[in-house]
Amino acid sequence: DTGVSQDPRHKITKRGQNVTFRCDPISEHNRLYWYRQTLGQGPEFLTYFQNEAQLEKSRLLSDRFSAERPKGSFSTLEIQRTEQGDSAMYLCALPGPEKLFFGSGTQLSVL
Amino acid sequence: SQQGEEDPQALSIQEGENATMNCSYKTSINNLQWYRQNSGRGLVHLILIRSNEREKHSGRLRVTLDTSKKSSSLLITASRAADTASYFCATDAAGSARQLTFGSGTQLTVLP
């Protein structure tokens, strides 16, 4: 148990549809990270939150992507007008002492 | 973007043999970490080595770091079938707010 729950585990959608993923930390954490992992590659940083504030965004996060953390607890990642290139595993992570604890991720498939 | 490359991309060994994976990176780092990922799951932290350390051990894991060559290696001794997974190195750069940069990973298969 990594202390991070992600929902859904799998999402299949058609190109052009909007999707939303959710990350729920089991306990309070000031910081929360989102990463994206495509097949055969390591995770790539997307964005992170310090409480409710989104402090850094990767260039990978196009205008179609939006992330929120309304009360500094759970976070959502929305992708609008999905494209086939958005197919990937979306991972949420929480900081531990000099490490990250990752959730099991949401596997997105865009048909 | 990926920090660097891992070598080999895939490794297949027999149970009981040792497995060595290498990682190269590009920028100055605070520390380097290794993570393991089972198929379709999240990543699990294995071991961390600081930039001023050269070698570290944890159970069957041995990590080395050569900051002059910007490279690290992970050795798994006496491998088991349960070690089958993808292994990623990740660097924690100065001023990164603990944003990790991952390598492309090594897929290890341990045959029983």
**Cβ separation of A40 and B104 shorter than 8 Å?**
yes
Give the distance from residue B93's alpha carbon to the nearest chain A alpha carbon, in angstroms. 12
**Cβ separation of A102 and B42 shorter than 8 Å?**
yes
Read off the pLDDT of residues B41-67 as tens digits, 9 standing for 90 and up: 889 999 999 999 999 999 999 999 999
- For the segment A84-108, the average pLDDT, to the nearest whole number, is 94
Confidence of residue A4 (pLDDT cuts 50, 70, 90): very high
Read off the pLDDT of residues A47-91 as tens digits, 9 standing for 90 and up: 999 999 999 899 889 999 999 999 889 999 999 999 999 999 999
Distance, in Å, from the CA atom of B41 to the CA atom of B35, rounded to the nearest integer, reads 12
Which residue in chain B is spatially nearest to A89 when comparing CA positions? Answer: B40
**Cβ separation of B105 and A42 shorter than 8 Å?**
yes
Confidence of residue B3 (pLDDT cuts 50, 70, 90): low
Distances (CA, A) of B53 to A32, A74, B6, B29, B46: 28, 36, 20, 12, 16
Amino acid at the residue A21: F
Q: How many CB atoms are closer than 10 A to CB B47?
A: 18
Best probe of the B interface among A56, A91, A99, A109, by most B CBs < 10 A, is A99
Give the distance from residue B44's alpha carbon to the nearest chain A alpha carbon, in angstroms. 7
Distance, in Å, from the CA atom of A71 to the CA atom of A35, rounded to the nearest integer, reads 20
Percent of chain B with pLDDT over 90: 78
pLDDT value, residue A97: 83
Interface residue A104 vs chain B (CB under 8 A): yes
Q: Give B44's contacts in chain A (Cβ within 8 Å).
A: 2, 102
Among A98-102, B8-12, B95-99, B100-104, name the one with the lowest average pLDDT.
B95-99
